[in-house]
C-alpha cells in the first residue's frame, strides 16, 4: 500500500516537472516573440518618423493617450449575471464561471 502511494507521488512529481518544462519553454518562446515585436515596432517607428517627418514627441503623446484609455478600461468592473461576482469589464467572459459578459455598449 505504501509502495503504491510512493509510485503515485513520484508519478505526480514527474508530471509536474514535465508541465514546468513546458511552461518554461513557452515563456522562452514568448520572450523571443516579445523581443522580435520590440525590434519590429522600433523599425516601424523609425520608418514612419523619417517618411512622415514626425518628431519623437508625436509617438510619446500617442502612447500616453493609448495608455490612459487602457487603464480606464482596466479599472472598470461589472457584476457577472451568472455567478454574481465582480469581474473586470474589459473581458469578454467571466474569470470565475466562464459565462459571456453582457456589455451595455
Contact 57, 46 (CB under 8 A): no
CA distance 36 to 39: 5
Instruction: Of 78, 55, 76, 74, give the one whose Cα is nearest residue 66.
Output: 74
- C-beta closer to Zn ion: residue 30 or 100: 100
- C-beta closer to Zn ion: residue 20 or 97: 97
81 part of the interface to Zn ion, by CB under 5 A: no
- Give min distance, CB of 95 to Zn ion, in A: 7
Contacting range for Zn ion; rule: CB under 5 A; set: 13-21, 37-45, 54-62, 86-94: 86-94
* Widest Cα–Cα separation across the chain: 76
Q: Name the site residues for Zn ion (rule: CB under 5 A).
A: 80, 82-83, 94, 96-97, 99
Amino acid at each position: 500500500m505504501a509502495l503504491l502511494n510512493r509510485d503515485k507521488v513520484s508519478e505526480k512529481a514527474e508530471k509536474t516537472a514535465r508541465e514546468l518544462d513546458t511552461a518554461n519553454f513557452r515563456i522562452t518562446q514568448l520572450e523571443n516573440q516579445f523581443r522580435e515585436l520590440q525590434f519590429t515596432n522600433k523599425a516601424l517607428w523609425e520608418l514612419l518618423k523619417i517618411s512622415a517627418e514626425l518628431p519623437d514627441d508625436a509617438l510619446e503623446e500617442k502612447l500616453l493617450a493609448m495608455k490612459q484609455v487602457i487603464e480606464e478600461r482596466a479599472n472598470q468592473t461589472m457584476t457577472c449575471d451568472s455567478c454574481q461576482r465582480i469581474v473586470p469589464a474589459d473581458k469578454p467572459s467571466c474569470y470565475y464561471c466562464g459565462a459571456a459578459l453582457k456589455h451595455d455598449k
